[in-house]
Structure formats: C-alpha cells, structure tokens
C-alpha cells in the first residue's frame, strides 16, 4: 500500500487526486488550505503557509509520522493571476513566486527526509508557461521555476531512485475557472479527473522509467 502526501488537497484538482489514490487503495495524508474539516485522525491536516519553511517542516513531519513513512509526494498548491508584464509590479511577481515556487521548494525540502528509496514526486507546472503569453509573465515565471526544480531534483535524487516529474495542465475545468471565464467553452478544457489520472500514473510503478519529465495534460477530457 503506497503512502502519499497531497498538498492543496481541498481544491478541485486536489479532491480528484485524493479520491483517485484512495480508490486505488493508497493511504493518503491530505494537506488542506483551510482548517474547516481537517482532522489528523482521518488523514486531513491543516497545511498553513507552505511557503514558510518552519511550518512546512512541522506539518509534513506530522503527516509523514501519521502515514508511517512516505512513498510519494504530490504538490498541488499554487496560485494564478493574469497580469501583463508591462504593468505588473515587483510585488505581483513575488506573490506568484510565493504561491507557486516557494511552496514547492519548502514543501519538497520538508518531505525529502521521509521519502523512501524508489519513491516518486509530482509537481504541477503549467502549459501556459511554455511559452508565456500576454498576461502570463509573473505566473509563467513562477511555473518555469517549478519546471527547473523538477529537472534538477530528478538528477539529484536519482541515486536514491526517487523519480521527479511534473504535469503541465492547460485550463482545468473547475468551478473557479468557470466563474472567472463565463464566456469560455469549458468543453475544450481538461477535467480534474483526467489530470488526476496522469498524476497517479507518474507516481505509480508503471512510470518507473519516467524521470525529469514535464508532461502536457491538455486534451479535453
């Protein structure tokens, strides 16, 4: 039975990912951004600010102890804002860095001591960052940092046989995206369940030969 930590577990994608792993018989520690329903007794933990190294270490240590070890780590926490590079302030770039890259760096650093040899890590990048278009400068730069983190860790952790990959979704069909883009056609978007399937594959032994990949997950599904 695989033991996994999933951050951002209370979002639309996080809910689909946790359900996918639980249905497969995995033991999952779900890190929630809100404390509304989080209770360690049933595997839900209050994440707090995962860009804060001390907080990330505390909650991930606690979740790993509850699991009794760690075979996989899935980092879904992030944030998006449409901001033209011509008008974005430095604070806007920093906000995207904190939400997307800083949370990934602090969280994976806290998880690494617990991940067993042969384990797997999956991050979420963004297809819109490769390349970044108008309005995607700060967000794309932060997600590009996640891509470089993925590539570097894949090499550095190879001696421990820990694989590190990332999925690159386009627009995910979530209630928030539907509200933010009421005139768009969600039939062209990707469902959270489809993205969850790709993440589950990359974590699984079936992807044992895949390391350092950035996998586009962009088909309507």
Q: Name the residue ranges covered by the structural domains of the chain.
A: 3-214
Question: What local confidence, expressed as pLDDT, does residue 39 receive?
Answer: 57
**Average of per-residue pLDDT values in the chain:** 92
pLDDT tens profile 166-180: 999 988 777 787 777
Question: What local confidence, expressed as pLDDT, does residue 219 receive?
Answer: 87
Closest by CA to 146, choosing from 170, 159, 130, 161, is 130
pLDDT tens profile 120-150: 999 999 988 888 889 999 999 999 999 999 9
Question: What local confidence, expressed as pLDDT, does residue 175 receive?
Answer: 76
Query: How far lies 136's CA from each of 51, 80, 88, in Å?
Result: 21, 9, 10
pLDDT bracket for residue 195 (50, 70, 90): very high
Q: Which of 36-45, 103-112, 183-192 has the lowest mean pLDDT?
A: 36-45
The residues annotated with a catalytic role in the active site are: 139
Q: Which of 5-9, 31-35, 57-61, 117-121 has the lowest mean pLDDT?
A: 31-35
pTM of the model: 0.94
Domain 3-214 carries which CATH code? 3.40.50.720
Separation of alpha carbons 139 and 98, rounded Å: 11
* Sequence-ordered list of residues with C-beta below 8 angstroms from that of 146, at least 6 positions apart, any chain: 100, 101, 104, 123, 124, 125, 166
pLDDT bracket for residue 40 (50, 70, 90): low
Q: What percent of the chain has pLDDT over 70?
A: 96
Q: Does the pLDDT value for residue 88 go beyond 80?
A: yes
Q: Which of 88-97, 166-175, 202-211 has the lowest mean pLDDT?
A: 166-175
* Sequence-ordered list of residues with C-beta below 8 angstroms from that of 70, at least 6 positions apart, any chain: 3, 4, 5, 64, 111, 114, 115, 116, 119
* Sequence-ordered list of residues with C-beta below 8 angstroms from that of 64, at least 6 positions apart, any chain: 5, 29, 70, 111, 114
């Amino acid at each position: 039975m695989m033991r996994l930590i999933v951050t951002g577990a209370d979002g639309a994608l996080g809910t689909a990912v946790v359900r996918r792993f639980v249905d497969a018989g995995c033991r999952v520690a779900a890190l929630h951004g809100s404390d509304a329903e989080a209770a360690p007794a049933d595997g839900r933990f209050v994440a707090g600010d995962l860009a804060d190294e001390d907080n990330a270490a505390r909650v991930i240590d606690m979740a790993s102890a509850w699991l009794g070890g760690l075979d996989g780590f899935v980092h879904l926490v992030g944030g998006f804002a449409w901001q033209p590079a011509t008008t974005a302030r430095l604070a806007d770039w920093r906000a995207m860095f904190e939400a997307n890259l800083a949370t990934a760096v602090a969280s994976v650093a806290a998880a690494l001591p617990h991940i067993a040899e042969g384990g797997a890590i999956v991050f979420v990048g963004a297809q819109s960052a490769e390349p970044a278009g108008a309005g995607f400068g700060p967000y794309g730069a932060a997600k590009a940092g996640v891509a470089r983190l993925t590539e570097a860790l894949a090499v550095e952790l190879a001696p421990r046989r820990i694989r590190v990959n990332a999925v690159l979704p386009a627009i995910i069909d979530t209630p928030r995206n539907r509200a933010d883009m009421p005139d768009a056609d969600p039939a062209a978007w990707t469902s959270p369940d489809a993205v969850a399937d790709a993440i589950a594959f990359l974590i699984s032994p079936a992807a044992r030969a895949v390391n350092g990949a950035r996998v586009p997950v962009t088909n309507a599904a």
